[in-house]
Amino acid sequence: MIMKTYETLFEKLFAAKDYVSGAQLGEELGLSRTSIWKAIQHLEKEGLIIDSVKNRGYKLLSGDLLLPQHISNNSPIFVSYNPQSQSTQLDAKEGMQEGNEPNTLYLAPTQIQAQGRFGRPFYTPKQGGIYMSLHVRPNLPFDELPAYTVLTAASIYQAIKNLTGIETQIKWVNDLYLNGKKLAGVLTEAISSIETGLVTDVIIGVGLNFAITDFPDDLANKATSLFSGQTPFTRNDLIAEIWRIFYQTDEDTLIQIYKENSLILGKMVTFEKKNFTYTGKALALSNDGHLLIELTSGEQIWLTSGEVSLKSWEE
């Protein structure tokens, strides 16, 4: 696939880290200054902030460009990119109906109707976030399914650590936290066949705050971003690394990563079940992602889904 002019220009500006003259860019890319200027305008429409100084040229201040081909070249997946996405989960479902192959990643720069667990809307700015849904086709009984949410969360943790050295924490069952604030979430949907009883398809949705500087007031104290300002690498690099790890790391290793970096194990938590609020200590995680809680009464129960809150966060 041949890269577009603005895509090539973005890569030049990102690599430069400083001002590059229009003449130099034109010479390196074989383009006129007018073509360079039009490509700069296109990048700015994509939400990138580019400074222009007479006699110095252009400098990328913040933002990046999603490059599906870069991701496909560096991970074992095909990428379907939709710049006008309502929701990447919906994109994946439409792709399935159209007969697209599994192991396709549906990617978008933002989402018009983004939804998290329980249909909750979530914040998706035009620039700085990662919004993607992976379609896989397990064709397995429900009780034999891999713990996709666990495997994905662990892959995100390891990808971030590999590229930055930053260690996040995983909050059961589907969130990643950094410095006590939410950084990423995973939403997994399964589709089963009435005829066979098998889970035929699974869609794994991921939302990750990569380089978001301004959150709405109601999220400012709850959400965080991996970076602020210009970043040392692009979203493409992190996306490719997440799915490379997901496909190329054995399940036991990813499950162990998930357990070792749990935010809640050994801590007091609260949760709701059948309209009652319970308090207990999070004791263990099973390999299929279930959470063992010891209630204040001494009773031990396994939670298979739902949400828990750290007791210390409520006080």
**Which residues contribute to the annotated binding site?**
111, 182
Q: How many Å apart are CA 190 and CA 176, to the nearest integer?
A: 21
Residues annotated as binding site for biotin?
Answer: 111, 182
Residue 232 phi, psi dihedral angles, 5° rounding: -75, -15
Report DSSP state, residue 117.
G
Residue for token pair 């070792």: 260
Q: Does residue 184 contact residue 176 with C-beta atoms inside 8 Å?
A: yes
How far from chain centre, in Å, is Cα 177?
13
Terminal-to-terminal C-alpha distance of the chain: 55
Comparing CA positions, the residue from 147, 155, 111, 102 lying closest to residue 129 is 111
3-state class (DSSP) for residue 54 = coil
